[in-house]
Structure 1
Amino acid sequence: MQPDPPPLCRAPEEAFVRDHTRLRAVPYLPELRLHQADDPYGLWEYSEDTGLPFWAFAWTGGLALARHVLDSPELVRGRTVLDVAAGSGVVAVAAALAGAAEVTASEVDSYAVAAINANAEANGVSVTAVRRDLLDSRPSGHDVVLAGDVFYDKAMSRRVEPFLREAAGAGALVLVGDPGRRYLPRGAFTALARYDVPVSRTLEGSRRRRTTVWQVPAR
């Protein structure tokens, strides 16, 4: 693995990510290391102009989905994978470690893209991070579409559900990791596995969350 470039050679977003996080092990995913913030809300207050730093943590739905992919690598091995609203890229990195032929991680935030690139590098895998809002476009023909913790608010849910359904209808395997967020479509998806995921009390208000991996049906 190549050493980190000197700070002056880094983009501002990448420098910010590296300066305000620590590379460390991920709870529930000992195979991975991620650049993570020590204090989520402290970083948010410090970086108000960048928005909520969702890229600085591994959220619960993503942890469960990444665990599922690593435990069942045949789901992605040799296939093209898209991680939608990828955040830190934890699911994308897991897919790459599990043997996916090609992994793309999409995000709308430039700091998230920088975090995904840094996390892929830290784990020695190749992930193409793109800054693009895909939800108003047609799915791009990936074999597998993964989405961790995307049903956290009404506006996002109204946009992401049709995208995931269209991808499934086009023949993709579409998997969602969700810990019971309020806007998850109830009774609409098929439960594949459940995990008791250790989480940050600061973020989730508890030490563990029961989290389900769902398959979006092709209909």
Structure 2
Amino acid sequence: MDPMSESLDPVAFVRAHTALMAPPLVPEIQLHLAVETVAIWEQTEEALGAMGLPPPFWAFAWAGGQALARYCLDNPQIVTGQRVLDFAAGGAVSGIAAMQAGAASVLACELDTFAIAAIEANAAANAVTLETRLGDLVGTDEGWDVVLAGDVFYEDAPARLIGGWLQDLARRGATVLIGDPGRSFLPQDRLDKLAEYTVPVTRDLEDREVRYAKVWKFR
């Protein structure tokens, strides 16, 4: 059974428990972001009536996603007129940037109902249209021209699965771009570095105040 209470409006929750603000690396974009890390985590657990939930990833502008967004805005030829997948989109900062840079369409996918609500709220705040998909797209191929994947290489087994799938998409001709601030399981031996950015981050989440996020492309 879906843990989401039938009486809970996810979009209303997102708007009530976040503030619209611009991520430091992409001031052109406004996102519904958490003001305090612990507070929104507790509010999410309370709303769902469950303890021990993972962090609400959608409520933060992670360094890898910001790097991808910055790269799309600065290099619009990458996405102009293209069908784009924003994989594990979080709040969809990179997907929104792709639309602002001229993408024909963007599909933003996530596993979390709150994240889908945040994506819809963020798209509205930036006057762009994103298609959303709740579910796991790893292993599928709907013919996307460009795939954006920010901050996805956290854990060993999922990283190997996701990396293999993204490599397959690149082999068939998709442009696959990775935004990553130095996660442990990034498959650098299969990637070419395109850009690097200094990104201010939240110490509560990253245990530091700055991350050096890179944009990579699968060979």
SS at match of 1:133: coil
Q: Distance in 2 between matches of 1:58 and 1:143?
A: 24
**Partners of 1:193 and 1:212 within 8 A in 2:** yes
Per-residue deviation at 1:204?
A: 1.4
Which of 134, 145, 148 is 1:146 aligned to? Answer: 148
SS at match of 1:38: coil
Per-residue deviation at 1:159?
A: 2.1
Q: Distance in 2 between matches of 1:193 and 1:140?
A: 27
Per-residue deviation at 1:46?
A: 2.9
SS at match of 1:194: strand
Select between 81-90 and 137-146 the one with higher mean Cα deviation: 137-146
Runs of 5+ unmatched residues, structure 1: 1-9
Aligned residue in 2 for 1:178: 180
Per-residue deviation at 1:152?
A: 1.3
Per-residue deviation at 1:11?
A: 6.6
Aligned residue in 2 for 1:187: 189
Which of 99, 103, 115 is 2:102 aligned to? Answer: 99
Distance 1:11 1:130, change over 3 A: farther
Which of 113, 128, 134 is 1:131 aligned to? Answer: 134
Q: Deviations over 1:7-55 (max 9, x none)?
A: xxx9711111111111112211110000001112222133233642000
SS at match of 2:183: coil
Aligned residue in 1 for 2:206: 204
**Partners of 1:69 and 1:75 within 8 A in 2:** yes
Q: Distance in 2 between matches of 1:213 and 1:11?
A: 37
Matched AA of 2:161: R
SS at match of 2:29: strand
Q: Aligned pair 1:12/2:41, yes or no?
A: no
**Partners of 1:138 and 1:166 within 8 A in 2:** no
Matched AA of 2:129: S
Aligned residue in 2 for 1:159: 161
Which of 15, 34, 43 is 1:46 aligned to? Answer: 43
SS at match of 1:26: coil
Aligned residue in 1 for 2:32: 35
Matched AA of 1:31: E
Task: Give 4+ residue runs of structure 1 displaced > 6 Å after superposition.
Answer: none
Aligned residue in 2 for 1:113: 116
Runs of 5+ unmatched residues, structure 2: 1-6
User: Sequence identity of aligned pairs in percent?
Assistant: 49
Q: Distance in 1 between matches of 2:208 and 2:192?
A: 26
Q: Deviations over 1:118-171 (max 9, x none)?
A: 000000001111102001x32211100000110012232122111111110111
Q: Distance in 1 between matches of 2:200 and 2:25?
A: 7
**Partners of 1:139 and 1:163 within 8 A in 2:** no
**Partners of 1:177 and 1:211 within 8 A in 2:** yes
Matched AA of 1:78: G
Q: Distance in 1 between matches of 2:38 and 2:141?
A: 34
The size of the alignment, in residue pairs, is 207
Q: Distance in 2 between matches of 1:173 and 1:191?
A: 13
TM-score by length of 2: 0.90
**Partners of 1:106 and 1:133 within 8 A in 2:** yes
Q: Distance in 2 between matches of 1:159 and 1:173?
A: 18
TM-score by length of 1: 0.90
